[in-house]
Structure 1
């Protein structure tokens, strides 16, 4: 399963863990309260994995592709890394399944503090529409991930501030309901 913690305020290399000292771990239950769901799957058999097939059917994840984020594999690598790390939200859920490598998703908690979620091979995560987040590689500088969508893919990030969007307002309202 994914591992998460509250981040420090350091401006050091974004690829470092950035754990508070002492560490303040965040449980999967705390992530669920923010609308973040995760699974541990068998990435070596993703093409035939019945658990993945079940999740895709249950969640209606009908569209899928695979992206490799590495300087030798991704066109405009440096530009893309900067875009991925810019704080933003989407109007649809963001679903990622790590097939190889590792990296971090950072999400904001109810008090607007950063939580870092470490993902490695086999981890699958769903970030709800409207949550402010960002992504970065870790110091291994490599991840191969499956991107899943309900229906046609929508790649548009809306950089913060983006509170005017209905998806953001619904998300904030859902947080108030879980308080």
Structure 2
């Protein structure tokens, strides 16, 4: 995972990096201190290690179900979906997700109008704490497959705007 501060008023294609100038990267530990977002790297090719990591995450975060979300330019109403995903939201419970394939961005807002962009790739797992404003978009590759984990058996995501 790569992490950096975003320019304050990003214009144009949201799938581009939108670094501040000069670029200001931060580490996963700094992200944790600043926003409480937790990060794990999961080796998806090592099934034993992957199952152990996911088992610990599921137990710690009380996960009871999951689904797979695929976002690419074959999705019906592609442009509208990207707009919807990019709208900032605040969830009523912690959000756990892992990139299974492809890449994407999760932007988090630890302070008003201060966005931090997290570039996630295959095997990156993040936990965005409840109450933290965040949004999602894809990279110019136009493809990501994400496994989302839920604390609700029906796969409902609790959120407030």
Residues 46 and 103 of structure 1: CA distance in aligned 2, closer, same or farther (over 3 Å) = farther
- TM superposition score normalised by structure 1: 0.80
Residues 77-86 or 46-55, more deviating: 46-55
Match of 1:17 in 2: 17
What is the CA–CA distance in structure 2 between the aligned matches of 1:45 and 1:61, rounded to whole Å? 22
Query: Secondary structure at 2:111's aligned position in 1?
Result: coil
- Structure with bigger strand share is 2
What is the CA–CA distance in structure 1 between the aligned matches of 2:56 and 2:151, rounded to whole Å? 14
Match of 2:59 in 1: 57
Gaps of 5+ in 2: none
Deviation at 1:81, TM superposition (A): 1.3
What is the CA–CA distance in structure 2 between the aligned matches of 1:79 and 1:6, rounded to whole Å? 26
Do the aligned residues in 2 keep the contact of 1:43 with 1:100 (CA within 8 Å)? no
Match of 2:125 in 1: 124
Deviation at 1:20, TM superposition (A): 1.2
Runs of 4+ in 1 over 6 A off after TM superposition: none
Residues 89 and 46 of structure 1: CA distance in aligned 2, closer, same or farther (over 3 Å) = farther
Residues 94-103 or 26-35, more deviating: 26-35
Query: Secondary structure at 1:43's aligned position in 2?
Result: coil
Match of 1:3 in 2: 2
Residues 132-141 or 22-31, more deviating: 22-31
CA RMSD of aligned residues (A): 1.9
Do the aligned residues in 2 keep the contact of 1:81 with 1:136 (CA within 8 Å)? yes
